[in-house]
Structure 1
Amino acid sequence: MNENYLSLNLATTRQQWGFAEAVDGCLRHGVTAIAPWRDQIAKIGLSEAAAIVRDNKLRVTGVCRGGMFPADTPAGRQAAIDDNLHAIDEAAALNADCLVLVVGGLPGSSKDIAGARAMVHDGIAAMLPHANASGVKLAIEPLHPMYAADRACVNTIDQALDICEDLGETVGVAIDVYHVWWDPNLAAAIARAGRMNRIFAHHICDWLVPTRDMLLDRGMMGDGVIDLKGIRAMIEAAGYNGPQEVEIFSSENWWKKDGDEVVRTCLERFSTVC
């Protein structure tokens, strides 16, 4: 059965609504799938967040985020692993489809990106037994190369899948169109992910031209240059028919609008341009 429908990543309304307000707003518009961030969960409390999810029969398409593994000391790397173990517990409590991993960039003054990627591999390997015991899938989210130094040294689906191949079937990918649309190997990489059954999440927004801020100026679907329907077709052909998760960071536009207007627009664009 094709169950493709919209999920709201709560980053999209983070300046308007907290966790409970965002759930109420989603339900007003018939949206029954969400993806919260850990700070939003912490603010309301994990037990309360879990109760809201359970009582409203919500699907949690992901918890954002784990990761940030590289550090320039063994103690720093262990602290990152410990934090990721807590993130697994949070994802398990919300019965999330996956814990999204933004893996981290170069530690300290390092210029060794291969070494940073090795730390990512080893960090995921260290958290994997607890994730498997908790029933939580781990979704590596490759980020655009502009973030390679500070946020994510894994920048393509293929790089993520190489890690997945080594670590097993419960480690997959979150495909965010904002980060991968430019990749000349995108079609082949998505097909590879499908053959491996490793597509755990599909995030959507748009790339604006011009983009005023590389982190905080994502576009609403249809306002930019990403071939959303084309990428969706690739992902569905690869076997993923789950929710498309709208994740928009927009400090000067959508974060300044009424939350209900944002959700209404997401639904309208989802039905017309995605």
Structure 2
Amino acid sequence: MTVRQLSLPELAETCGALSIGNVGLWREPVQAYGVEATAKLVRAAGLTVTTLCRGGFFTAIDPAARAKALADNRRAVDEAATLGTDTLVLVSGGLPAGSRDLRGARERIADALGELGPYAESRGVRLAIEPLHPMYAADRCVVSTLAQALDLAERFPAHQVGVTVDTYHIWWDDTAPEQIARAGSGGRIHAFQLADWVTPLPEGVLNGRGQIGDGALDLREWKGYVEAAGYTGPIEVELFNDGLWARDGREVLAETAERFIAHVIP
């Protein structure tokens, strides 16, 4: 998503030129290019798919809508398995129209995980609940903290359900380091993503993630938290940023790699 202006073949080519061996993919461009075709492309390029984003949106009350969401999530699991990644990132869903029942929405997420977890396990895929910043609770994700995500995940086996640690969404929470340790002790850190926090936020908020080094976060410190918790997996950079998307994608990817080395690697 950081360089969504690149086609998948362009992305694979640029990763090769920059010696980047891992890539996190989103479903929309994968579906547009073709799931099988994408799997073949990344394999030929020597790329490992770290995660597929996104499944989720489990909070609907209407039974037909819930059944539709579960069917879509099974397809997402199948897509992840075809791409060779063991992790599907979940954005759980916001409040249904007219509802103010946060607790009920979170319980419907748990119900969906109970159905989807065993299916994902059968396909060799883990589910990774991503808490989003509280400003998204109404329309996008009623899971706002790592503690809330872990309270859901811990109802299920760790090899089925864990969490995504995304610095953009949790940096403000002074309990987050403790919750990262909690997640690590249970083997539930299934994905780790970086983005910086810059102000002022753009209108609409969604596409305001900052390039590494441009904002308020000590990303090396956050890397230390997950490593201390035992995480040894890949680190993704995920930037929704209109300014970056307006630039040449190859240039943005090279810049992102340089920033990662300068601001994240010890």
Q: Return the TM-score normalized by structure 2.
A: 0.96
Give, as a single letter, the amino acid of the residue that structure 2 aligns with 1:264. Answer: A
Answer yes or no: is 1:117 the counterpart of 2:106: yes
Structure 1 CA distance, aligned partners of 2:179 and 2:187?
A: 12
Partner of 1:233: 224
Residues 196-235 of structure 1, C-alpha deviations (whole Å, 9 max, x = no match): 0111111011100222242112110000001211111010
1:40 and 2:29 matched: yes
1:190 aligns with 2:180: yes
RMSD over equivalenced CA pairs, Å: 1.0
1:212-231 matches, within 5 Å, as 212-213=202-203, 214-231=205-222
Indicate the SS of the match to 2:60: coil
Q: Distance in 2 between matches of 1:205 and 1:216?
A: 11
> 1 or 2 for the larger relative contact order (CA 8 Å, sep ≥6)?
1
Q: Which amino acid aligns with 2:171?
A: W
- The runs of at least 4 consecutive aligned structure 1 residues that moved more than 4 Å come to none
Identity %: 45
> 1:190–1:235: 8 Å Cα contact kept in structure 2?
yes
The 2-side partners of 1:79 and 1:118 are apart by: 18
Q: State the Cα deviation string for residues 172-210 of structure 1 (Å, max 9, x = none).
A: 111110000001101110110110011111101110022
- Superimposed CA distance per residue, residues 43-64 of structure 1 (whole angstroms, 9 cap, x where no aligned partner): 1101101111222231111001
Cross-structure match for 2:237 = 246
Structure 1: give runs of 5+ residues left out of the alignment. 1-10
Separation of aligned partners in 1, 2:109 and 2:256: 33
Q: Look up the equivalent residue of 2:255 and give its one-letter code.
A: T
Q: Do the aligned partners of 1:32 and 1:57 also contact (CA within 8 Å) in 2?
A: yes
* Residue aligning to 1:160: 149
| Corresponding residue of 1:5 | none
Conserved? CA contact 2:80–2:88, under 8 Å: yes
- Which amino acid letter does the alignment assign opposite residue 108 of structure 1? A
SS in 1 for 2:84: coil
Instruction: Return the TM-score normalized by structure 1.
Output: 0.93
Q: Runs of 5+ in structure 2 lacking a partner?
A: none
Q: Which amino acid aligns with 1:234?
A: Y
Question: Cα distance, 1:23 vs. partner?
Answer: 1.3
Count residues with an aligned counterpart.
262
